[in-house]
Amino acid sequence: MDAGRLAEIERESFPAEQCFTPRRIRGLLENPRALVHVAERDGVVAGWVVSLVRTHQRWRTGRLYGIAVSPTMSGRGIGRILVTRTLEELTRRGVVSVALEVQSDNERAIGLYRSFGFTQAAYLPDYYGAGVPGIRMLRGSATPAVSR
């Protein structure tokens, strides 16, 4: 995967201080706990998503860590496809809950996540910088029932 192209999509999509750098992207691509999906449209990388899996003593949780779709490809369902693939893969890996953070004024993304069953769990003041709050959203059971 081309970390440079993924970093370019990051720069097109977010303020500089919120972007993953090419180095950070390469680290995620090499991380065995990270799941990365890339969407292409007409042979061009249109977006990407990365999630992380954490293994606990008796269950696994996931974190939708980052998603970006090139603004030139926005509105074509690419974000929905990326989230769908990610959640399906996390489920296959036995993940029982997924968390994510999103800027509190990003209504489009929040609506997308709600359509997948995510609910707001916490308000995060200054999460994306001074005066830029976020919210944490959860899907699934935060503390799964454990059979004995």
Output b/e per residue, 120-131; b: 16+ Cβ within 10 A.
eeeebeebbeee
Per-residue pLDDT of the chain (148 residues; tens, 9 = 90+): 788 899 999 999 998 888 999 999 999 999 999 999 999 988 889 999 999 999 888 889 999 999 999 999 988 999 999 999 999 999 999 999 999 999 999 999 999 999 999 999 999 999 999 999 999 999 997 555 544 3
Instruction: Burial-class residue 51 by CB neighbours within 10 Å (0-12, 13-18, 19+).
Output: buried
Segment holding 11, helix H or strand E: helix 3-13
Mode of pairing for the β-strands spanning 134-140 and 34-41: unpaired
Of the chain, the end-to-end C-alpha distance in Å amounts to 42
- Residue 67 is encoded by which pair of tokens? 């998603």
In this prediction the pTM is 0.88
In this structure, is residue 4 part of a structural domain?
Answer: no
Residue range(s) defining the domain that contains residue 98: 33-140
Q: Is residue 62 part of a domain?
A: yes
> For the chain, what is the domain count?
1
Answer yes or no: is 18 within a domain.
no
Of 52, 104, 47, 103, nearest to 80 (Cα)?
47
CATH at residue 81: 3.40.630.30
Q: Is residue 27 part of a domain?
A: no
Within-domain flag for 97? yes
Residue 124 forms part of a structural domain? yes
Whether residue 13 lies inside any domain: the answer is no
Residue 131 inside a domain? The answer is yes
